[in-house]
Each structure stands twice: as structure tokens, then as C-alpha cells.
Structure 1
Amino acid sequence: MASLNVYSVLVVLFLTCGAVMATKENDQIIKENNCETKMGLPCVLEAFTSIFNTGSISNKCCDELVLLGKFCHSALVKRTLENALFKDLNPATIIAKSIQTWNNCLALINSPSPSA
């Protein structure tokens, strides 16, 4: 339960605190595309966990991630990496996990549904 609270705090920081440290390019993308309002908090938590820790992302949250869009997804991940709380993370590893999560979700969304 404590880890869920830690992740909740990190997600809130992910969504709100990085603005001061964000590059103008990422900030502009995030603001112009309303990136911070396109995913529900449970799915933000799942995506965050799958990228910044170890976890998986559900089909429902993959839908939300793909609807968020690649530009928003990339800008939010990059902005999070700029936050001092994440200075000890390897950016290349996080970017690779971010791309893997995106590609997995995109493949899932684009795959044909099994017939009933």
C-alpha cells in the first residue's frame, strides 16, 4: 500500500511539478495539446509504473495512452526526466522503456480483435 502512495505522489509530481524545469519545447507541446488532461489518473499511474519502474499496462490504459498521442507521451516522459527527483535514473533506459511501452500499446490497439 505504501508503494501505491509513493507512486501516487510521483504521478502528481509527474503531472504538475515539472513545468518550471521543462524545456520550452516540451512545455509548449504539453500546453498546446492539453496533454495533462487526456488520461485518467489510474492509467497515468499504470503508464508511469511501466516506464519508470516495473509493471505492465492494461489494454484500457493502452487505449488511453495511444489517444494521448506520441508527441504528448514523449514530452511528458522527457519533462519528468528533467525533474530533480529523477536525476538518478538513466535517461536512455527510461526513453527505451517509454518507446517500448508506446510500441506495445500501439501494436495492441492496431491488432485485430479475436472473433467471438
Structure 2
Amino acid sequence: MATKEDDQVIKENNCETKMGLPCVLEAFSSIFKTGSISNKCCGELVVLGKFCHSALVKRTLENPLFKDLNPATIIAKSIQRWNNCLALIDPPSPSA
């Protein structure tokens, strides 16, 4: 599912170094298992960027440990987490 482009995006953007381990684990659990993500980790996720977030989720889905998970469900959850964090960190301005 992940492509060479995903791996390149991860390397070129230093995706694996942009979030602290506690937040990586929290975000991972909220997407691949159950649970929520704290405001602090939402902030780190948004700083990580959507490209990194998507590429890392896709790459994780390639791991044989997660072969029983439905990729469509995981990707939907990752998009939902991303959108929730984005709204929390950068709330839309009220219309005048």
C-alpha cells in the first residue's frame, strides 16, 4: 500500500523525527487501536504535516503485524484524527 514515494516523503521531510515518542504512541493507538489523542499531541501531529501523517499510516499498514486490520477503516480513522486535530489547533474563524 505504501509506495516508494511514501518512503521518500518520510525521509525527505524527516517525518520520523518531528513528533516526540509519547505523542507518536498516542496518535498510533488512537488510529490503530482505540482511544483519543491529547491536545498537546494534536499540536505535534499538525506540525508533522498531512503528507507525513498519511505516509506513515500507509507504511505502518504494510507491517505484517497489522495484516488483519482493514486498511480502509484505518485510513478513514487517520483522516478523522487529522481533521479533528486540525480543527482543534487551528479553529475556523467565526464569519463576520
TM-score under structure 2 length normalisation: 0.92
Partner of 1:38: 18
Superposed CA RMSD in Å reads: 1.4
Asked if 1 retains the 8 angstrom alpha-carbon contact of 2:2 and 2:55, the reply is no
Q: Deviations over 1:84-104 (max 9, x none)?
A: 111110000000000000000
Structure 1 unaligned blocks of 5 or more? 1-20
Offset at residue 111 of structure 1 (A): 2.0
- The CA distance in 2 between the partners of 1:22 and 1:77, in whole Å, is 9
Q: How does 1:91-110 map to 2 (within 5 A)?
A: 91-110=71-90
Runs of 4+ in structure 1 off by over 6 angstroms are none
TM-score under structure 1 length normalisation: 0.76
Q: Deviations over 1:46-96 (max 9, x none)?
A: 100110011000000000000000000000000000111111100000000
- The CA distance in 2 between the partners of 1:54 and 1:84, in whole Å, is 19
Give the number of the structure whose residues are more often helix, by fraction: 1
- Greater relative contact order, per chain length (Cα 8 Å cut-off, separation 6+): 2
Identity of aligned residues (%): 89
